[in-house]
Structure 1
Amino acid sequence: MAEHEVKQVISQLHSLKVSNLQTAPKLLSKAKLGLLHLNALVPDDKTSPAHLLLATTVLEQGALLSIRLKDTDAFTRYYQQLQPFYSLPANRWSRTGKPANQGKVTGLYLLLLLSVGDYAGFHTVLEGLETTGGKEQLENDQFIQYPVRLEQALMEGSYDKVWGETKGERVPSEEFGVFSEVLINTIRSEIASCSERAYPSLLIANAKNLLFLDSEGAVVQFAQSRGWLAKDGRIYFPQQEEENMAAEKDVMSSTGIVIENTLGYARKLETIV
């Protein structure tokens, strides 16, 4: 396959509509085969700048389309294939420009790590980016800063901030929006764990706001999945052992503050809506 044929496939990938997304893997395989024939699928000293850019364009399209297809395994593979290109020195790109979507793909990978709770991997990637690109460059990249803000909010227990960041104009691109439900599930899990330690029970109406659920029926369903008891308009949490309760007194106090703050935010949000 000649270079112009790879470019034709790239053009087809760019023009794919939502209804045709399932054809993307086949087109991407065709483009990667073309890169292999051009000896450009893995960069080396002989790879021309034009072929470097061609390869990163294909692989970045593969990564972004994988997110839209909700295939995180494929996305991870594309991210890994892009790393040899992203680690090339700046002078290898001087004639053709740098990869167009490096920040977006990297930000999405950080968000993926965050959504599965891999905080160690998250910070490892972030530290590597700071070493190679510098702190100032990271601070100016909206795609990197988005998962950074989310991680900081999660670490602070500011679940209302995470909720707010996953809505509307704060999401930097369509691909990032795919992770919204995953992150909300992460929030629910965090708040649920805190609630179990902080309270013996909660009103179902309060739990609805607290857990960002749409209905009281959804609260009951969620409660059942956690092994909680829903009875007489309240959610009852499993009782803690007395010795554990004493040890967790300080944790319970701080968690209670977080929950009260989140409840207050949720009530305000409900009022606005």
Structure 2
Amino acid sequence: MAENELKQIVSQLDSLKANNLSEAPKLLSRAKLALLNLNALVPTEKTQPQHLALAASVLEYGALISIRLQDTDAFTRYFQQLQPFYFLPSDRSPSRRQSNQGKVTGLYLLLLLSVGDYAGFHTVLEGLEASSGKEQIEKDDFIQYPVRLEQALMEGSYDKVWGETKGERVPSEEFGVFSEVLVNTIRSEIASCSERAYPSLPISNAKNLLFLDSEGAVIQFAQSRGWVAKEGRIYFPQQEEEMLAAQKDVMSSSNVVIENTLGYARKLETIV
């Protein structure tokens, strides 16, 4: 009974449209309850192979739906729950043809990149290479997408990252969610560097530098960071304040030097 109900729920999850995901959490809860009744939510030696396949499917749907709902915490939990299924012996693991392991793992790698967890990224990647083989990983488009992004980030080639996050280079709709988060992270890093390097920038230059689509978007971004936009330029208040402080320090030092020099001159006059 539980197995038939589970198959029906999986079929319903499969038919859910992007604009009708509000039903997904309830379906997933029912599915996990059915898996518990089948002792299949966590794989054991006694779990039947067909139940392992159903469990992996439910958890993968949960992971992918969590991405579409932009719930990264839920996605991370589903990814962690899937690991025992992905590392089962080949004679008990779900069919590779039916598995979304590459997609789910690629999304998790992209999540790690988007939050700057490079150590975690390489730990997961090394685990994949050890379990599946480097050659197999290199053939997986879902895995290679975050790998290319990480390489571009290490090179500081932000234009390559920007190019990879656009259009047909994104391997699936779910990857677009984290790709946008990653671009925002990079944009913030570039903005912080610009604040320290320049007193101001032309808005047209800032648009290209920050990978923004219009000058209006530049002004909106500038306002969010407390920058000042006027007369076709972006001014960085922090840089101006630091420059004024430096000028004051120079002036103060100059005054000390002048006072000391005058003092020496007076002493010389007294001696003469």
Q: TM-score, normalised by structure 2?
A: 0.83
Given that 2:198 and 2:239 are in contact with CA atoms closer than 8 Å, whether structure 1 keeps it comes out as no
- After TM superposition, the structure 1 = structure 2 runs for residues 91-106 of structure 1, keeping only pairs within 5 Å, are 91-93=91-93, 97-98=95-96, 100-106=99-105
**Counterpart code for 2:149:** L
Q: Which moved more, 1:231-240 or 1:84-93?
A: 231-240
- Aligned with 1:230: secondary structure? strand
* Deviation at residue 23 of structure 1 after TM alignment: 0.3
Query: Using the alignment, how far apart are the partners of 1:194 and 1:17 within structure 2?
Result: 42
- After TM superposition, the structure 1 = structure 2 runs for residues 1-273 of structure 1, keeping only pairs within 5 Å, are 1-93=1-93, 97-98=95-96, 100-237=99-236, 238-239=238-239
Question: Using CA pairs below 8 Å that are at least 6 residues apart, which structure has the higher relative contact order?
Answer: 1
RMSD: 1.8
Structure 1 equivalent of residue 250 of structure 2: none
* Deviation at residue 231 of structure 1 after TM alignment: 2.8
- Aligned with 1:5: secondary structure? helix
Q: Which moved more, 1:62-71 or 1:233-242?
A: 233-242
* Deviation at residue 11 of structure 1 after TM alignment: 0.3
- Aligned with 2:92: secondary structure? helix
Max Rg structure: 2
* Deviation at residue 4 of structure 1 after TM alignment: 1.3
Query: Using the alignment, how far apart are the partners of 2:216 and 2:40 within structure 1?
Result: 54
Query: Using the alignment, how far apart are the partners of 1:197 and 1:125 within structure 2?
Result: 35
Query: Using the alignment, how far apart are the partners of 1:43 and 1:155 within structure 2?
Result: 38
* Deviation at residue 89 of structure 1 after TM alignment: 1.8
Query: Using the alignment, how far apart are the partners of 1:154 and 1:84 within structure 2?
Result: 31
TM superposition outliers: structure 1 runs of 4+ over 6 Å: none
Q: Any gaps of 5 or more consecutive residues in structure 1?
A: 246-273
Query: Using the alignment, how far apart are the partners of 2:32 and 2:239 within structure 1?
Result: 56
Query: Using the alignment, how far apart are the partners of 1:104 and 1:30 within structure 2?
Result: 24
* Deviation at residue 120 of structure 1 after TM alignment: 1.6
Query: Using the alignment, how far apart are the partners of 1:18 and 1:236 within structure 2?
Result: 42
**Counterpart code for 1:46:** K
Percent of aligned pairs with the same residue? 80
**Counterpart code for 2:187:** R
Query: Using the alignment, how far apart are the partners of 2:61 and 2:41 within structure 1?
Result: 14
Query: Using the alignment, how far apart are the partners of 2:155 and 2:89 within structure 1?
Result: 37
Q: TM-score, normalised by structure 1?
A: 0.83
